[in-house]
Amino acid sequence: MVYFCMLRVTRMITVCCLLLLLPALSVAGEGNKDEWIDAVTQALPEAFCQDGQYFMSCYEVTQKECRRVSLLVVESCMDSFKGQFPDNFDEESGAHWGEQVGRCAGTAFHIYFEKEGKFRNTEKCNDAGQW
């Protein structure tokens, strides 16, 4: 049962991250590795922590707390993937790696705040179709 719930939450986080990533990735655009990393590292916490978005709605956190933890998990995920990134990003590689980093960061965010007891286990928060 625990595995099923975790799988369900992971899928939902993936869907929510992908929806949040679309504007962030367009901001990041194309460029060299360092430019792309900087742009996505700035854009993702902002996207994650907007009022009414999944992470602000389904976790009992302030925007400040959301941004702080989001930045930490995004930086950690960037570090874990950095050696695999291409030297230059185009639209396709930016979307691919943005999805990987977003999924990693969203999952880490969930694990962190779930351990803190801050996940709102509501029907809406457990239904990716509502986001």
Query: Each residue of 25-84: pLDDT tens digit?
Result: 544 556 899 999 999 999 999 999 999 999 999 999 999 999 999 999 999 999 999 999
Contact 86, 93 (CB under 8 A): yes
Domain positions in the chain are: 2-130
- Mean pLDDT to the nearest integer, 14-29: 50
Alpha-carbon 55 to chain mean position: 9
Q: What are the two backbone dihedrals, phi and then psi, of residue 113, each rounded to the nearest 5 degrees?
A: -80, -25
pLDDT score recorded for residue 31: 85
Q: What percent of the chain has pLDDT over 70?
A: 76
Which helix (H) or strand (E) segment is 115 a member of?
Answer: helix 91-115
Query: What is the total residue count of the chain?
Result: 131
Alpha carbons 114 and 120: distance in angstroms, whole number: 9
